[in-house]
Amino acid sequence: MLAYIIRRLFAVVVMLLVVTLVTLSIFFLIPKMTGSDPAAMFVGKQADPASIEAVRQKLGLDEPILVQFWHFVSGIFVGRDYTGGGDTIHCAAPCFGYSFRTEQDVSTMLVDAFPVTLSMVIGAAVLWLVLGVSTGVVSALKRGTIIDRAAMITALAGVSLPIFFTAMLAMLVFRTQLGWLNASYVPISESFGGWFGGLLLPWVTLAFLYAAMYARLTRATMLEVLGEDYIRTARAKGLPEPVVLGKHAMRSTMTPILTIFGMDLGALVGGAILTETAFSLHGLGGLAIKGVSERDLPLILAVTLITAACVVIANLVVDLLYAVIDPRVRLA
Amino acid sequence: MLKSSQRRIAAGALLAAATMVAATACGGGAKSGDGGNGKAGAPGFNAGVNKVANPSDKKGGELKFIGSQEADSWDPQRGYYGFVWDFQRYYTRQLVTFKAEPGSASTELVPDLAADTGKISADGLTYTFTLKDGVTWEDGKPITSKDIKYGIERTWAQDVISGGPIYIQQVLDPKNEYKGPYKDTAPDKLGLKAIETPDDKTIIFKLPAANGDFLQMLAMPAASPVRQDKDTKAKYGLNVFSSGPYKWQSYTPNKSMKLVRNDKWDQKTDTVRKALPDSISVTFTTNADDMDNRLIEGEYDLDINATGIGSSARQKVLQQHKENADNPQTGMIRYAVFPQTVIPNIECRKAIIYAADSKSLQTARGGPQAGGDIASNMLPPGLKGADPKADPYGKLGGAPDLAKAKEALAKCGKPNGFKTTIAVRNNKKIEIATAESLQQSLKAVGIEAEIDQFDGAQTSGIIGSPKVVKDKGYGIIIMGWGADFPTGQGFLQPLVDGRFILQSGNNNFSELNDKAINGLFDQALKETDPDKAGELYKQINTKVSEAAVYLPFTHEKNIIWRSSRLTNVYTADAYNGRYDYASLGVVK
């Protein structure tokens, strides 16, 4: 088990290095192919060529791709200095680059944004997992009844409606009309009530979409599992129904759900862009949008890296959990 | 039984209907927040355009801005966005600034840190200013002439302080010999020879060539003082040391900013800034539609960006809250320009101008209110020398003149029309709509225009490169332009002076290089009397029309929100039709 975890962690590191290199290469190649100059984007519209060249050097854009890669990776461990024009900017370790748009360390921006996204995603994930799985199980057990139909129609609506629509609808009803909630994020360290109130709508909105998908997936899987021979055997042995469902059926049902859950969770941490934008939450998704719209390369690189890290780590956790849920799985 | 897709549609339709019901129900029900919303107390539509709405000198309260676009930089030497220049006067002062008056009266320059608007030598080469007594920094230390010189010097350090305007650098040091204060070998870092500071109260600017708009450049935030011991170089924009009526309390980029009173600022030294609110807050949001709703709900007072209410909230505002809206001109002109390297024949260019349907182009821009007035020439109203009625191609009527267009085509030697390409930025929805409108109009006379949507973020390297324009065959380019300072030089020179044709970052897209026009600019720049200079800009504008390289669409207008509790609200031409932020209050 330990050897398995070490091997997987090693693979995670290699994966992240590859992602970094690929992302850097894209930034390196695209300007060359399109004839645009990233340095020119950082200087004013009246800048002369000498100023553009000085900024290019300061950003390290004049260096070969592998040197840029080395500087980036080493900066994460030992920090990095950006020198030019008689000014030196120190980016302390772990340095994920420096945003010349906002004149901030990217790490500072990430530290600021990460708790917002994490709060939103974890809260929503708890909601959608509980609601989605329980709805799916009930639907499967009450197959063909009015409960099943009502649950699946609601789930269909959840899957069908785009999140920006449900977000606007939720804000319209619960904030504008009823005045129950505000949509401003408050850090949990400042006020638990403010944090909870500010995130409730994003949680519900995000969970509505995902719970719908999980309910449909759970129902389908559960129905399939309930038709398996070992369930019939368990019932034939006279096991009580709660044990058959809880101990035998649920374990198998949860395996594919857990797989999807790991990927969804990882991807959402990297960028629940629509939800964050709709609710004006300043999380990683917002940073990604900002990075792309302003061509802030260090910011894009860092968010890409964080997203990749979240996805691979979430998948690792899921793989480990397989063994806990399903005794047939053995990690080696 | 419904199929899956039918079920999906039915469910979607049901919820959409529910939403509409909810939306309709809330139509007029904006709730009252402390920002004050809706009709109560609002002085009426356009009450803040060219006149003061809710005049009041009462102090107190918090003025609440909201915006969807962050500043490019809050550093006085680095900001270039129009709203940033307006807002920066809360915490910066300049030698001279724009008068606190509505409309075009705002373009008059008045003393700020200086005791008067300067003594200008007869040859227009030397400007001498004496500072007022009692002007201080936020820690109470006096603002000196050396602080002003140091602040201005920072614009030379483009490799550190990048992004801001460099007009002063171009005028004082056209060969760019000074390398900026961070590379300055002088012990006091004040090595720029074109500025002298014989004592702490006197500052002298020595220009190598006269420029009648030099005072305009000194009114920009880029000419604000910066104290050397407070200069954090590239990071200065994260916490600016105040010389104005407010100082920074907190700032988190892309989230929020809070300014509070600078108790060391003395009202007696400042005839421009009223400093009415006790504090000023700015909140940045990522959802522009939600921002409009929050303004309507009264949660905030105004949009700091002032780019106009979004299309989804616009109708609601005009139907239910019109008295809270103003519809000013922004000083921007929207136009099509014809590169002469691609369409060299003037008659072919005239054919395009005559064939264009100005009314349809105005509609594509958003109509008379959200888009603006039909433009017939390139100098916007409000600038000295402008004549909005000058209409050499009969565009103000709105309809195309197909007969004249065909006549021009015949003279051009292409009676059946020709093929060309319209270049338009792919990130500007409205510009794409205008390109499509123009494409339709031109079809009527046989001009087949293909639309090429280029990467809007790469504008300076694509349409800003004459070589790329020629290689791609861009016969028509859709663009917009606003002046950095409200004179003919600020507006027209980058667009039509042949000496401003650049190989990258070019704005003279037509590559107009007319000796007569260039000569008129030289005359106008030497002229220190704005009215006389205006006459020269009028002549330039006439010659530009004659060259048939521009098809102006609209003098842009937008619809901006003004909360009911806002006092002393008026739009100022000096700030491109934005409210004069330094005059605003929130207590009636």
Q: What is the ipTM score, two decimals?
A: 0.78
Q: Which of B31, B159, B254 sits opposite A84 (nearest CB)?
A: B159
By the CB < 8 Å criterion, does B470 face chain A? Answer: no
By the CB < 8 Å criterion, does B76 face chain A? Answer: no
A177–B25 CB contact, under 8 Å = yes
B372: left (phi over 0), alpha (psi -120 to 50) or beta: left
DSSP letter assigned to residue A142: T
pLDDT at position B581 is: 98
By the CB < 8 Å criterion, does B287 face chain A? Answer: yes
Q: SS3 for B77?
A: coil
For A177, the closest chain B residue by CA position comes to B26
Q: What residue segments make up the domains of chain B, in order of their start?
A: 41-68+285-328+560-587, 84-243, 332-557
Per-residue pLDDT in tens (0 to 9) along chain B, 588 residues: 334 444 444 444 444 444 433 333 333 333 333 444 444 457 899 999 999 999 999 999 999 999 988 898 999 999 988 999 999 999 999 999 999 999 989 999 999 999 999 999 999 999 999 999 999 999 999 999 999 999 999 999 988 888 888 889 989 999 889 999 999 999 999 999 999 999 999 999 999 999 999 999 999 999 999 999 999 998 999 999 999 999 999 999 888 999 999 999 999 999 999 999 999 999 998 888 889 988 998 999 999 999 899 888 898 999 999 999 999 999 899 999 999 999 999 999 999 999 999 999 999 999 998 899 999 999 998 889 999 999 999 999 999 999 999 999 999 999 999 999 999 998 788 999 999 999 999 999 999 999 999 877 677 778 988 999 999 999 999 999 988 888 999 889 989 999 888 777 788 999 999 999 999 999 999 888 889 999 999 999 999 999 999 999 999 999 999 999 999 999 999 999 999 999 999 998
Instruction: Using alpha carbons, select from B424, B426, B427, B428 the residue that is nearest to residue B438.
Output: B424
Do the domains spanning B84-243 and B332-557 agree at the CATH topology level? Answer: no
Q: B27 to chain A nearest CA, in Å?
A: 10
For A104, the closest chain B residue by CA position comes to B235
Q: B167 to chain A nearest CA, in Å?
A: 9
B461–A86 CB contact, under 8 Å = no
By the CB < 8 Å criterion, does B222 face chain A? Answer: no
* Predicted confidence band of residue A183 (pLDDT cuts 50, 70, 90): low
DSSP letter assigned to residue B234: G
B26–A278 CB contact, under 8 Å = no
CB pairs under 8 A between A and B: 139
Q: A205 to chain B nearest CA, in Å?
A: 14
Contact of A124 with A202, CB cutoff 8 Å: yes
pTM value is: 0.84
CA distance B404 to B395: 12
Q: Which CATH number fits domain B84-243: 1.20.140.10, 3.40.190.10, 3.40.50.150, 3.90.650.10?
A: 3.40.190.10
Contact list, A41 vs chain B (CB under 8 Å): 457
CA distance B82 to B4: 52
Contact list, A169 vs chain B (CB under 8 Å): 15, 19, 22
B164–A161 CB contact, under 8 Å = no
pLDDT at position B45 is: 94
By the CB < 8 Å criterion, does B140 face chain A? Answer: no
Q: B183 to chain A nearest CA, in Å?
A: 6
A176–B14 CB contact, under 8 Å = no
B470: left (phi over 0), alpha (psi -120 to 50) or beta: alpha
Contact list, A89 vs chain B (CB under 8 Å): 234-235
A282–B460 CB contact, under 8 Å = no
For A276, the closest chain B residue by CA position comes to B286
CA distance B469 to B340: 10
Residue A301's alpha-carbon distances to A92, A144, A315, in angstroms, are: 17, 49, 21
Instruction: Using alpha carbons, select from B384, B342, B380, B339 the residue that is nearest to residue B552.
Output: B380
By the CB < 8 Å criterion, does B25 face chain A? Answer: yes
Q: A169 to chain B nearest CA, in Å?
A: 6
Instruction: Using alpha carbons, select from A42, A298, A56 the residue that is nearest to residue B80.
Output: A42
B19–A84 CB contact, under 8 Å = no
* Predicted confidence band of residue A34 (pLDDT cuts 50, 70, 90): low
By the CB < 8 Å criterion, does B6 face chain A? Answer: no
Q: What residue segments make up the domains of chain A, in order of their start?
A: 1-95, 107-329
Contact list, A183 vs chain B (CB under 8 Å): 290
For B181, the closest chain A residue by CA position comes to A86
Mean pLDDT of A273-289: 86
Contact list, B505 vs chain A (CB under 8 Å): 40, 45-46
Residue B15's alpha-carbon distances to A152, A161, B10, B275, in angstroms, are: 15, 9, 9, 49
A280–B287 CB contact, under 8 Å = yes
B163–A168 CB contact, under 8 Å = no
Residue B525's alpha-carbon distances to B487, B502, B520, B533, in angstroms, are: 10, 20, 9, 8
Full DSSP string of B360-392: HHHHHTTHHHHTEEEPSSSS-TTSTT--TT--T
B residues 547..586 contacting A (CB < 8 A) = none
By the CB < 8 Å criterion, does B22 face chain A? Answer: yes
CA distance B490 to B482: 9
B287–A278 CB contact, under 8 Å = yes
Q: Hey, what CATH topology would domain B332-557 get?
A: Dipeptide-binding Protein; domain 3 (3.10.105)
For B164, the closest chain A residue by CA position comes to A44
Query: Mutating which of B34, B70, B254 best tests the A interface, going by the most A Cβ atoms within 10 A?
Result: B254
By the CB < 8 Å criterion, does B35 face chain A? Answer: no
Q: Which of B167, B297, B461 sits opposite A37 (nearest CB)?
A: B461
For A164, the closest chain B residue by CA position comes to B287
For A150, the closest chain B residue by CA position comes to B11
Give me the half-sphere count of Cα atoms (radius 13 Å) on the Cβ side of residue A155.
26
Q: Which of B14, B73, B166 sits opposite A46 (nearest CB)?
A: B166
Contact of B90 with B106, CB cutoff 8 Å: no
- Which CATH number is associated with domain A107-329? 1.10.3720.10
Instruction: Using alpha carbons, select from B380, B377, B406 the residue that is nearest to residue B392.
Output: B377
- The position carrying tokens 């003149």 is B401
Q: B299 to chain A nearest CA, in Å?
A: 11
pLDDT at position A272 is: 80
pLDDT at position B14 is: 40
Q: SS3 for B399?
A: coil
pLDDT at position B38 is: 44
Instruction: Count other C-beta atoms under 10 Å from residue A237's C-beta.
Output: 9
Mean pLDDT of A183-206: 85
pLDDT at position B97 is: 97
Q: Which of B26, B255, B290 sits opposite A177 (nearest CB)?
A: B26
pLDDT at position A332 is: 53
Query: Mutating which of B85, B158, B425, B500 best tests the A interface, going by the most A Cβ atoms within 10 A?
Result: B158
Contact list, B164 vs chain A (CB under 8 Å): 44
* Predicted confidence band of residue A186 (pLDDT cuts 50, 70, 90): confident
B164–A44 CB contact, under 8 Å = yes
B residues 494..533 contacting A (CB < 8 A) = 504-505
Q: Which of B22, B183, B289 sits opposite A86 (nearest CB)?
A: B183
Identity (one letter) of the amino acid at B299?
A: E
Contact list, A216 vs chain B (CB under 8 Å): none
Contact list, A179 vs chain B (CB under 8 Å): 31
Instruction: Using alpha carbons, select from A3, A7, A24 the residue that is nearest to residue A304.
Output: A24
pLDDT at position B300 is: 95
Contact of B386 with B373, CB cutoff 8 Å: no
* Predicted confidence band of residue A41 (pLDDT cuts 50, 70, 90): low
pLDDT at A134 over 70: yes
DSSP letter assigned to residue B189: S
